[in-house]
Amino acid sequence: MYRKRVDDNHATMVLALRDAGFTVHDMSRCGYGVPDLIICRAGHCEWLEVKASAKSALTVYERSFFDYCPGGAPILAWTPQLVIAEFERRNQ
């Protein structure tokens, strides 16, 4: 199952994270539950699943990827501020 669209906040998220000093790799075309982005800063990388809001549910494929993700569960967020806070928390 290839992803046919991204959430409306996807492009805004990418730009905001790049402005915050992250290298952002867009993986959204991979499908099969692969998270939307890989974000890297200061030698550390994390998977990131972008959602439209706190109420947005993971798909069956996304849940499966989260369960078996190499390197730990992806960050799940709907604002750049949430992403940055979680990234920093994981890298203290």
- For 26, the 3-state DSSP assignment is strand
Residue 4 lies in a domain: no
Residue pointed to by tokens 């799940």: 76
Identify the sign of the CA torsion 44, 58, 15, 83. Answer: negative
Dihedrals phi, psi of 44, to nearest 5 degrees = -120, 140
Q: Mean pLDDT across the stretch 22-28?
A: 95
Range of the domain at 35: 10-90
Please give the mean pLDDT across all residues of the chain. 90
The pLDDT, as a whole number, for residue 12 is: 94
Q: Which DSSP string do the residues of 39-62 spell out, in sequence order?
A: EEETTEEEEEEE-SSTTPPPPHHH
**30: pLDDT strictly greater than 70:** yes
Residue 5 lies in a domain: no
The pLDDT, as a whole number, for residue 57 is: 87
Length of the chain: 92
The per-residue pLDDT for range 58-72, each reduced to its tens digit, is 989 999 988 888 778
Residue 69 lies in a domain: yes
Q: What CATH number corresponds to the domain at position 41? A: 3.40.1350.10
Total domains present in the chain: 1
Rg over CA atoms, the chain: 12
The per-residue pLDDT for range 69-83, each reduced to its tens digit, is 877 889 999 999 999
